[in-house]
Structure 1
Amino acid sequence: ELRLVDGGGPCAGRLEVKLQGHWGSVRDGNWNMDDAEVVCQQLGCGSAAGAYTASTRFRKGTGFISLARVDCQGDEPALWYCKIHGWGPYHGIHDYDTAVVCQGFSRLVGSESACAGRLEVRQGQNWTRVCQEDIDIKAAQVVCQELGCGTALSVSGASWFEAGMGLFWKGSFECTGTELLLSACTRRLSHGEGCTGDSSIICSSYTGFRLVNSNSSCVGRIEVEVGGTWRSLCASDWDLPDAEVLCHHLGCGPASSPYAPFGRGTGRIWLHPVFCQGSEELLQDCVHLGWGEHFCGHELDVGVTCEEALELRLVDGGGPCAGRLEVKLQGHWGSVRDGNWNMDDAEVVCQQLGCGSAAGAYTASTRFRKGTGFISLARVDCQGDEPALWYCKIHGWGPYHGIHDYDTAVVCQGFSRLVGSESACAGRLEVRQGQNWTRVCQEDIDIKAAQVVCQELGCGTALSVSGASWFEAGMGLFWKGSFECTGTELLLSACTRRLSHGEGCTGDSSIICSSYTGFRLVNSNSSCVGRIEVEVGGTWRSLCASDWDLPDAEVLCHHLGCGPAVTMLPGGYFGGGDGTLRRDTFTCGGNEWHPGQCPTVVLGQPACPPSYAAAVNCSGSGTMELQGLWCTGTEDNLAQCNVPEMAAVPTGSLEEVAIVCSGSRQVMLAGGTGRCAGRVEVYINGTWGTVCRDAWDLSDATVVCRQLGCGTALAAPRSAPFGPGTRPLWLGASQCAGTEMSLWHC
């Protein structure tokens, strides 16, 4: 191999040759242009521009000397074809180390800049033009890097530049974009017979932009990379359209503020008067005056805040749609201070949060409580129709330290509500569309979406989702689309929205929520008998026995998968529990499938006698007869299955169902050289045993190999090549079809 080093690029520097694994100099007291020409052509760097002793132009080498005294005619295809008098590696002085400067293989001409113009490439001693059909953006990228001009912005015809004269290069360049020289790219025949004109390339000396001095890549002081060096940008003539282009360029969405201060930089400042329209893809595409002298100090270093770096929330209001307004800026949450905060401002906040329209705009201290710490924004003026708070006129971007007397707060109407019943936690679903409430088709909502609605409304867990036949009929337009939720979203508006599943709408959707998120029986050795505990808001408390009766117990036992209730036990039979007893009065009819469906009175009930906790004895074993069962697979017990209107209706004659669980069964191959060959052993009921081979065949072996992840079975030997087992024989492992996923399915 050979290379040129210490010259700032691949086409100039001291000549080195790699010999026997070591790089070393080439020593020659009579080094001349013929020798240099061969080196330049071999490297793809065009013709030679100069032949030197290394110490006179660059610096002499150290270490090995690879070759000594090289004599070339100038037309050899590589240095190795020249007459070489000494093959090293040698140790010696480096006074006669050789160096070369090449003219280069490519250049850009026809403009005042060496980094923009018509492309020409070297062919022998002459420069030739290149057809615009024979170069692409990847090849342009290589040219820009080869010339030290940064990155390629565009490749096109030469209409912007001085017209060319002379012959065209015969062929096209296919580059990956990572080559150091255009001459290193693959060369092909031209793509077509015709040539519509010269190719031209525009390079940019800017090789990068970034935002610094914050904890986010989308907010901070602007720095520009030129020639590998990062410098600050002067704020002269910098405005919102410029910031828009930069934010989109960085993948940070729209700009929120073009003037945000993020401290002063150090070192040289790049003056860059930029004049963007806001629609350009890259900052380099904007009209600019280039790099030059400036009159800025670092006090004018420009910063920007992009929308992706900003967050807002409402706090201290008991939910995501009410409370004191806070904005996250530069990694810190802070209040929004405004003495003229109004409903237009609040409307933008509510819509941005997916909380419907605004119900009220407040000074935080009058409705919630004022904040502490930072103030993120000061004086915000909105029209009310902006898509986000950042599009309003913001007079002050923090973070600031100051008093919190004018912290702002908002109460939103919410995005969803349940109507048509006496309870806010059950009814027809309606969602907010602009200023209006719209109905939702029952086909466009499922139990996961219902769960989100119940949590959003502070109504606990979803019991059912169905048509609205139980509730007052709705009127008005339907929401156009369906909601796809995971069930963990805080708001229905945060769920994915899709087109409706079908053309027709059979009626309104309705949801029944329950504040009771769990029931259990405790303080006994069975899950079907014990003291009743209820979970509300994440807290478990025992239930008072004063108004607990058999229909209530019947519903609870069935819900827990414990069959019917057997007996009502006296209050306190399984202890009084910890803390105050819940005085909730259930009035179940006995046919409900969840206690949360029963009418319940919580407030205004007399105090419960101490330790008088309700207890129940269900049928004990948890055995129950089910006819038509529909589960999602995520329920904790069968009683949570059979969401109304979703259970299958039994058809034909009923049959008993048997279930085999695989958790207590295992299989392995023993006695072989690896885990995929050996004697079959199975683990059942806590004991390992071997398998009787009388009916064992290749189909059975295929299932075992599949179960163990060992590919296809090669053999199922009837003899005992892996030795006899010492454990009990299992007689039931055979009769596999070969398609089963495990031995237990045979």
Structure 2
Amino acid sequence: MGPYGDWLLEDTAAVCRDLDCGSAVYGEKRKDFPQSPVWWVSSDCVKKFAVRDCVYDSSSSSSSSSGLEVKCSDSVRLVSGPSLCSGSVQIWDQSWTWVCEGALDQQGAEVLCRELGCGAPSLLQGALSPLEQTFHCEGHESALMDCPRSGSETCSSGAAVNLTCSEPLRLVGGASRCAGTVEMRHRGEWRRMEPNRHWLLEDISASPVWGVLPYCVKKAAVRDCVDDYSSSFSSSSGLEVKCSDSVRLVSGPSLCSGSVQIWDQSWTWVCEGALDQQGAEVLCRELGCGAPSLLQGALSPLEQTFHCEGHESALMDCPRSGSETCSSGAAVNLTCSEPLRLVGGASRCAGTVEMRHRGEWRRMEPYGYNGPWVLEDTAAVLMFLLFFLRFSTPDG
């Protein structure tokens, strides 16, 4: 079978589905097969239809040295979840059966996530009680079905344990758990990511890397975006990133806007009234954004959690007077301005454009492959400045 188009892990999941195997662990195009007739299969089609319904009619006379190599988990899978690393747990025992609430503990979840080629478990629902626990894992096992079992109770889907594993990424060598060089686990091996030149690169000792396609990660999980040719890559480049390790904005229209969450063993919502203007300024600065321009549900001092003076480098450095959590519907919403400003002009809407990046303000140098800087490019900059900076100070 010859894959046609960009083949992602979700496409491999369709093959595993049609084989009645478990979840997709990896799938990649190989180009080292003997030249022979193949069936060309559309990756877009298999997301919705059976694989056999996605063969190109014109491929009956096709010959190629490419083929698709896949690995599916043969005894466990996550179903009905938002991603390949999240869902309700099923095991293969003559047929696919649900794993019940309470049958799996944290160590069992770690084994299961590792078996599926995912990262560590980040959310385990319905599995914290030891009552009727089925799997007794020590954590080192390579497959969930290798763990000792004390029963085979089955249940309906509504009573099944739900598990979310993190994506198989990690940061190494940084100052915190959310800073450092990006490594990805693929086909059982941890390697640095080798990104396209449009990403920020740093010099590192040459070693094997996984090549990652930057256009792909905008719409798919990072592990779905490994370059087909990268299994033999060696490079002295790598991707250095820094993420905020204790606060984030979610479900917003941009990276500088959304509902506020903080990390306190897990991600929890910051409630209305828990944050004032000074706290919002600290938070926006921590995220590398400009000054807060819109703060909803946070103007009342009632039940205020964070008491910032405004000079702190991180929101969690501010004194706290409680740790109340709430639902997403009662969370505070914050919009920070984009890190742009105009300097040296006759008004606040004229001047030289400067951008704050990696903590430093610098002029912008127009650059691109599509010709000179045109008025529509200027309009995009002004849109940010006019919309976001209406309430910002010049040194925000």
* TM-score tier after normalising by the smaller chain length: 0.3 to 0.5
- TM-score, structure 1 normalization: 0.25
Is the radius of gyration larger for structure 1 or structure 2? 1
Higher helix proportion: 2
